[in-house]
Amino acid sequence: MTDSEVSACLAQIRQGDEAAIRALIQYMYPFVYKLVRSNLPHRSEEEDLVQAVLIKVFKSLHQFSGLVPFKHWVSRVAVNTCLNSIRYEKRRPEVRMADLSEEEETVVKALATTDEKLEPGLGFAARDLVQHMIACLQPKERILIDLIYLEGLSLEEASQCTGWSLGAVTMRVSRAKAKMRKHHEALIAERRQP
């Protein structure tokens, strides 16, 4: 949908058109699902969280002013919903080698012993390792790392999606990268110990 089609759809929704509601849900569902899935550490409740985001969007549709693109507004609702969900989960302050699966441990071993690229079969394990390390970050840092490095948004776009200032986004990304680097070095050091 283009921005004008979204605006027309929103106008129809405000008049009570159920077909327009279904069309907007169909349009927004993949986008919201992707945001929720990438920002949730445990995949067990992602469908419930997607539905919660869509409900929040429709309940607060009257607050959408149209000054920003609709997707940015929806992403802000999704990010805030994910942050609230993450806050209620227990976080573990560090990643330990014992917490990793066998495949993830193999990736750490390979990274610790060689500068060469990983074997093709370890690609999924490497992604899981990154997700494991991201789970140790603060919720706001986790969201930003995902938006910028996994979703490919710029700092400015991440600032618009989250509603945080550009300076705050830059600072949180820098801190998150430093924490991830520290965790990675700790894993490698733990692996090298006899």
Domain ranges of the chain: 3-87, 97-192
CATH of 3-87, one of 1.10.1740.10, 2.40.160.40, 1.10.10.10, 3.40.50.970: 1.10.1740.10
Q: For 79-122, what is each residue's pLDDT tens digit?
A: 888 877 776 654 544 445 555 556 656 655 555 454 455 565 55
SS3 string of the chain? CCHHHHHHHHHHHHCCCHHHHHHHHHHHHHHHHHHHHHHCCCHHHHHHHHHHHHHHHHHCHHHCCCCCCHHHHHHHHHHHHHHHHHHCCCCCCCCCHHHCCHHHHHHHHHHHHCCCCCCHHHHHHHHHHHHHHHCCCCHHHHHHHHHHHHCCCCHHHHHHHHCCCHHHHHHHHHHHHHHHHHHHHHHHHHHHCC
Q: For 120-153, what is each residue's pLDDT tens digit?
A: 555 566 666 666 677 777 888 888 887 887 777 8
Six-digit token string for 40? 């949730």
Q: What is the pLDDT of residue 79?
A: 84
Q: Per-residue confidence at 165, pLDDT binned at 50, 70, 90? A: very high
Fold observed for domain 97-192 = Arc Repressor Mutant, subunit A (1.10.10)
Please give the Cα distance from 39 to 148 (Å, whole number).
12
Q: What is the pLDDT of residue 137?
A: 78
Greater model confidence, 91 or 69: 69
Domains 3-87 and 97-192 share a fold: no
